[in-house]
Structure 1
Amino acid sequence: MKTLNGIVRHILRSSKTSSQLLNVSRAQSLSTSPNGPWYDLSEEQQSIKELADKFAREEIIPKAAHHDQTGEWPKEIFDKAWELGLANGMVPIEYGGSGASLFARCLISESLAYGCSGIATAIDGNGLGQAPIVHSGNHQQKKEYLGRCTSEKISAAYAITEPGAGSDVAGVKTKAEKNADGDWILNGEKVWITNCGVANWFFVLARTDPNPKAKKSEAFTGFIVEGDSPGLTRGRKEQMMGQRASDTRGVTFENVIVPKQNVVGGEGRGFLVTMGAFDLTRAPLASAAVGIAQRALDEATRYSLERKTFGVPIVSHQAVQFLLADMTIGIETARMAYMRAVWEMEQGRANTYWASIAKTYAADVANKSATDAVQIFGGAGFNTEYPVEKLLRDAKIYQIYGGTTQIQKMIVAREHINRVR
């Protein structure tokens, strides 16, 4: 089987212009027209999609129900994804990753979530932890921590959320103070942390300016924290409604010593580092939501062609056709939305506005599509022997993590008003 790293290196070998060599993104980017994105996949993009589709079909779908029922973290699947380069797509080539473009990572996320979004989160969670380092880390940090992820089958975690501070990042209470040696002493608690139980290292946001009136752009600092640090304690695995394959836990820090060289992006710049990381991760979250919605549509369509009522397949009934049409419209437009978010970044512009639109819209589409799929299945859709009830449980989290739908709408409104002004 081809690997993502192999595909990307083939792109580099066959590139003919210097612009195609820049961060690999030009060779894998959306082609463009004067009016914006053009959505035909290139040969390289199609190869990446086929790789991810094949992996989802052969490795994820057959085992999804088992991991949903047991809540077992899918180590075997993660290891295979790692071997194919699917677990470290964000990492630049010089640090052992594939250096895949944002669009390539969206294609992969959509395909993996089509198979099982819980298992996809177990794999993609690596990118979430890595994003602040990719965005703002120095060479030594990238060499050590990104390189560790590409040389060993390990995971990283992104620890921001707290009992009293979820989408309100500025409400973080975890604090870090310097000691006499210039290192930092970390104290606090984080909750709902993806990959927490298996993470080799964490990106942690903490308040470093005790002044409650300090600007949020200057009050916080991001740290890389070793998973085996004395004073770091991982909580029990959360029993969740959906995405049960994801290892989600709380973690506490009691006088954890963090070396000064593990500050990411500079002291007091943690909030900006965190926001920059979200720009790299919200489009892939949107694409994963599209993957759930597409799976719901495919399962509902297949069932509607087989199930008969009143002597005909239920797909013959206009009521069912309208449900399928609504799902199709939502999926196609949500896919265009995340592609627009990608395109904005590829033009060298901040994609905050479009990434929040894509994440909000795709999350809603995933939830509606899963709900409509259950409706088309009828009583069977309420039964765990059929796949759509799992899709419905899995879809809900997309309206919550990565910034809730309400937070995304606040961002969109703010960006819109600023543009008008």
Structure 2
Amino acid sequence: MSNLNPGMDAETFDQFIDQLRRYVRDRLIPAERDIIESDCIPPEIIDELREMGLFGITIPEEYGGAGMNISQYTRTIRELAYAMPCFRSIISITIGMFTSAMKNGATEAQRQEWLPKLAAGTITSFGLTEPGSGSDSAGMQTMAVRSSDGGWVLNGTKRYITNAPQAEVALIMARTSKEPLPKNAHVSAFIVPMNTPGVSVGKSDKKMGQAAGHIADIILEDVHLPAEALLGAEEGKGFITAMKSLDNGRLSVAAASIGYAQRALDSALRYATERKAFGEPIANFQLIQQMLADSDIEIYAATTMLEDAARRADAGENVLRKAAAAKVFASEACGRIVDRVVQVYGGAGYLAEYEAERFFRDARVYRIYEGTTQILQLQIAKHMLREFNAGVN
């Protein structure tokens, strides 16, 4: 398998990962309790993430980024996701989805304008989901119509949008045709600065978990945009661009699931070693050991799937099925692992005083992010059947 995307120099990358691992354990994890209580990442930590270059890890060097390939990107997310999920959330849309859309679908002028800003730490949002539609583009209601000056006017509402309260710019999917068109050509993508008149953000939604990782509605009311706001300067490419970006988003969620599952398992190992029952550590009990071993097995399997999908993406393969499969397995495995961790903790696992309860709540959304397990199962099966009927081995 030829490697078309070598990414960052291997030695430099290893040094970066070592630095990131120390930063996560020495700086981010000790800050978690205060962040949970305030439901806010301190501005100084966001500035530190910028200074480390985390917002630009996948952006080519000529635009001010680190030029990591997909394998390095997912490894970085795994390390960062060992800490509470809000740290990944604040950067993941920029490095995974917005940047991917810019690289895959933008004009060179758009790349020159936006990629250096993204690399410097611009917080972004990705506006696809709506109150009445998510993966179903035919149900999308947000409309973009031509204005008299050759620009665009957008109206609609986007729902459950990560980073919406903090975002400085959003990539918004909107219909440019009232009638559904083949290959979702009725949907286009627009670069929308959040300070544009007519753009407003709803109240942050209260969630089951993921403290300090904010989601909210983005409301668009007669939002006037210049012609250059149309991604790629071409109508009808928005949904295709979004779906290509979602491959990276799904790999990011798989990586986040693995990183957080490892954090939860390490917590369970520590607790099982310290907690005693019947005069000995509960880690000596075989059924506790079975839960620990099953969790380690699933993390290994998920990691192997993710690394394979990322390696194939770097080689230029279409990884839609592989990315979906890795995301489904890793997120479902994470759910099983955090459930076992609560069980290892026993009664303490149900108390907010202990971290197992938080792991359980935080992890649940990974099976929903970037396409639910069920949607991705349908997508995988559809492509399997298409290939079978076409005679592809």
| TM-score category of the 2 structures, normalised to the smaller one | over 0.9
| 1:260 pairs with 2:227 | yes
| 1:133 pairs with 2:107 | no
* Structure 2 partner of 1:245: 212
| 1:408 pairs with 2:388 | no
* Structure 1 partner of 2:15: 47
Preserved contact between residue 55 and residue 122 of structure 2 (Cα < 8 Å):
no
Distance (whole Å) between structure 2 residues aligned to residue 222 and residue 414 of structure 1: 25
Distance (whole Å) between structure 2 residues aligned to residue 315 and residue 56 of structure 1: 27
Preserved contact between residue 70 and residue 310 of structure 2 (Cα < 8 Å):
yes
Q: AA paired with 1:97?
A: G
Distance (whole Å) between structure 1 residues aligned to residue 374 and residue 67 of structure 2: 32
Distance (whole Å) between structure 2 residues aligned to residue 340 and residue 248 of structure 1: 31
Which protein, 1 or 2, shows the higher relative CO under an 8 Å CA cutoff with sep ≥ 6? Answer: 2
Distance (whole Å) between structure 2 residues aligned to residue 381 and residue 283 of structure 1: 29
Cα shift readout 1:77-129 (whole Å, capped 9, x = no counterpart):
22101101112212111111111111111111111111111222122232233
Question: For 1:193, what is the secondary structure of its paired residue?
Answer: strand
Preserved contact between residue 109 and residue 287 of structure 1 (Cα < 8 Å):
yes
| 1:108 pairs with 2:76 | yes
Q: AA paired with 2:113?
A: E
Structure 2 unaligned residues grouped into runs of 5+ = none
| 1:148 pairs with 2:128 | no
Preserved contact between residue 161 and residue 190 of structure 1 (Cα < 8 Å):
yes
Correspondent of 2:196 among 201, 205, 229: 229
Distance (whole Å) between structure 2 residues aligned to residue 118 and residue 287 of structure 1: 14
- CA 1:75/1:131 → structure 2, altered by over 3 Å: closer, same or farther? farther
| 1:418 pairs with 2:386 | yes
Distance (whole Å) between structure 1 residues aligned to residue 353 and residue 26 of structure 2: 20
Cα shift readout 1:346-394 (whole Å, capped 9, x = no counterpart):
2211110110000000001111111111110112212222222111111
C-alpha displacement of 1:414 = 1.5
Distance (whole Å) between structure 2 residues aligned to residue 300 and residue 237 of structure 1: 32
Preserved contact between residue 28 and residue 103 of structure 1 (Cα < 8 Å):
no
Task: Number of aligned residue pairs: give it.
Answer: 386
Question: For 1:221, what is the secondary structure of its paired residue?
Answer: strand
Q: AA paired with 2:174?
A: A
Distance (whole Å) between structure 2 residues aligned to residue 183 and residue 214 of structure 1: 22
Distance (whole Å) between structure 1 residues aligned to residue 352 and residue 200 of structure 2: 35
- 1:14-413 mapped onto 2 (5 Å cutoff): 25-28=5-8, 43-127=11-95, 128-151=97-120, 153-211=121-179, 213-265=180-232, 266-413=234-381
Over the matched positions of the two proteins, sequence identity in percent amounts to 33
Distance (whole Å) between structure 2 residues aligned to residue 387 and residue 348 of structure 1: 40
C-alpha displacement of 1:70 = 2.2
Distance (whole Å) between structure 2 residues aligned to residue 51 and residue 272 of structure 1: 36
Distance (whole Å) between structure 1 residues aligned to residue 92 and residue 314 of structure 2: 21
Cα shift readout 1:120-147 (whole Å, capped 9, x = no counterpart):
2122232233321122111111121222
Question: For 1:185, what is the secondary structure of its paired residue?
Answer: strand
- CA 1:349/1:195 → structure 2, altered by over 3 Å: closer, same or farther? same
C-alpha displacement of 1:45 = 4.2
Distance (whole Å) between structure 2 residues aligned to residue 79 and residue 46 of structure 1: 23
- CA 1:91/1:28 → structure 2, altered by over 3 Å: closer, same or farther? closer
Preserved contact between residue 118 and residue 242 of structure 1 (Cα < 8 Å):
no
* Structure 2 partner of 1:5: none
